Amino acid sequence: MSALTGGFTSPAPQAARAFRLALMALSRPGRIETVSGATGPAPLSAAAATLLLVLADRDTPIFLGAGHDGTDVREWIAFHIGAPLVPPEAAMLAVGTWPDLPLSRFPIGLPDYPDRSATLIVESPAISAEGPRLTGPGIAGEARLSLPEVNAFRANRMLYPQGLDFFFTAGDRLAALPRSTQVESA
Amino acid sequence: MSLLTDRRALMGLLARAAPDRLAALAGPLPEAIELRPAQTGTVMVQGRIGGTGAAFKMGEMVVTRCSVQVAGIAGHAHVQGRDKAHARTAAVLDAMWQADPARIAALLAPLAAEETARRQTRAAKAAATRVEFFTLVRGEDQ
């Protein structure tokens, strides 16, 4: 494993497939998808590395949480993506564990342009379909997802249409929580 | 500019070479891992007129880039045009050059000689059409 290995071997089909799965996860909150294709240097998970390759390019400023901000990850991003690494206030995409991401510092968009907000890739120890209850657009009845906490996501929902969107990654599995979803403790 | 010491000169030579001629000179290549498979895109070419002129955008050109790893050494190439095999060959040769510059420099010496000859022929043809202007002395100045 080095800074230069671990990219897509067949970029167009692999990126399209992974992008489709990321969209499925985001439009069906709580649904867990399995993605593959990229492997990044530790501690980057395969799912987070694949998401980065799919979502980021040289025009996508990325914030790395303290645990992920190392030479290996920086060089990997420089070779495979070329994205600038920035502080949270300027980030469009962020990668890190839940404690490493300073939620209050990310852009949540403007009332006129709610899309100018950050998407957070939260590296988790594990993802499972149990825990806090999710309801809202894209969910038939209710769904459950192992979230690190509840209050932060309730506060994020209150900002709607502004707010942050979340991907949760563990190994090669990913789930997502858009700003439109209502979260209640189980 | 020496192929033995200057990696930039080597990469430039590989990028400008005719794909068929390069493949014939290189012969069979060793096994290589593709770090970034060959992909085609465009780059903006910048130009500058005079030493103090600001850079201007001259236009876009098609390039193909490729990165490979040969025996643990990474080789990179950006070549003109959309020939993916050319980009891959150039990247492999770049990696082999880093391991053994003398061998690859010797291998590519004919390519460098041909390029120099081509440039000289072109320059000679252009020189033959050169027109010298000179001012005639006019009577009223005296």
The mean pLDDT value of chain B amounts to: 88
**Do B35 and A9 count as a contact with CB atoms less than 8 A apart?**
no
Q: Is the Cβ of B67 closer than 8 Å to some Cβ of chain A?
A: yes
Centre a 10 Å sphere on the Cβ of residue A78 and count the other Cβ atoms it contains.
13
Q: For residue B2, what pLDDT is reported? A: 74
HSE (CB half, 13 Å, CA atoms) of B89?
A: 22
Query: Does ipTM surpass 0.95 in this model?
Result: no
Q: Is A11 on the interface with B (CB under 8 A)?
A: yes
Q: Tens of pLDDT along A90-135?
A: 999 999 999 999 999 999 999 999 999 999 999 999 999 999 999 9
- B84-99 vs B19-26: helix axis angle to the nearest 10? 40
Q: Is A39 exposed, middle or buried (0-12, 13-18, 19+ CB in 10 A)?
A: middle
Please report, for the domain that includes residue A66, its CATH number: 3.40.50.11310
- Taking a contact as any Cβ pair under 8 Å apart, which residues of chain B between 16 and 55 contact chain A? 33-37, 39
Range of the domain at A119: 11-184
Q: Is residue A3 part of a domain?
A: no
Which chain B residues touch A7 with a CB distance below 8 Å?
A: 35-36
Q: Which residues of B touch A9 (CB under 8 A)?
A: 34, 37
A76 to chain B: closest CA residue: B35
CB pairs under 8 A between A and B: 18
Is some CB atom of chain B closer than 8 A to the CB atom of A10?
yes
> Which CA distances in Å does B90 have to A33, A156, B12, B41, B83?
39, 51, 10, 17, 11
- CB distance B69–A4 less than 8 Å? yes
- Which pLDDT band, with edges at 50, 70 and 90, does A10 fall under? confident
Q: A79: which chain B residues are within 8 Å (Cβ-Cβ)?
A: 35-36, 67
* Cα dist from A55 to A119, A153, B66, B108, B141, whole Å: 10, 22, 22, 41, 74
Residue at A28 is within a domain: yes
Number of folded domains that form chain A: 1
Strand partners, B72: none
The reply to whether A132 falls in a domain is: yes
- pLDDT for res B1: 52
Whose structure tokens read 């070479």? Answer: B17
The pLDDT assigned to B72 comes to 87
Residue-wise pLDDT tens digits, A142-177: 999 999 999 999 999 999 899 999 999 999 999 999
The pTM of the full predicted model, rounded to 2 decimals, is 0.82
Return d(Cα A164, Cα A119) in angstroms, integer.
6
For residue A9, give the nearest of B34, B67, B74 by CB distance: B34
What is the structure's pLDDT at A112?
95
What is the DSSP code string of B8-19?
A: HHHHHHHHHS-H
- Closest residue in chain B to residue A79, using alpha carbons only: B36
Flag whether A19 is in a domain.
yes
Query: For the segment B99-108, what is each residue's pLDDT rounded down to a tens digit?
Result: 988 889 989 9
The answer to whether residue A1 sits within a structural domain is: no
**Which of A168, A44, A63 is closest to A107 using CA atoms?**
A63
Res B142: pLDDT: 54
Whether B74 and A9 lie within 8 Å, measured CB to CB: no
Give B 4-23 residues with CB within 8 A of chain A: none
Over residues A6-23, mean pLDDT: 92
Identify whether A175 is part of a domain: yes
Distance CA A121, CA A48 (A): 7
Token pair of A143, please?
A: 């769904």
CA gap A78, A93 in Å, rounded: 15
Q: Are A62 and A77 in contact (CB under 8 A)?
A: yes
Could you report the per-residue pLDDT of B9-53, keeping only the tens digit for each? Answer: 999 999 999 999 999 988 888 888 889 999 999 999 988 887 777
Judge whether A2 lies within some domain. no
pLDDT at residue B119 tops 90: yes
B107 lies within 8 A of chain A by CB: no
- DSSP H/E element including A54: helix A46-55
- For residue A118, being part of any structural domain is answered with yes
Inform me whether the C-beta atom of residue B69 falls under 8 Å from chain A C-beta atoms: yes
Cβ distance of B35 and A5 shorter than 8 Å: yes
How far is A2 from A85, CA to CA, in rounded Å?
19
User: Where does the pLDDT of residue B141 fall: very low under 50, low under 70, confident under 90, or very high at 90 and above?
Assistant: low
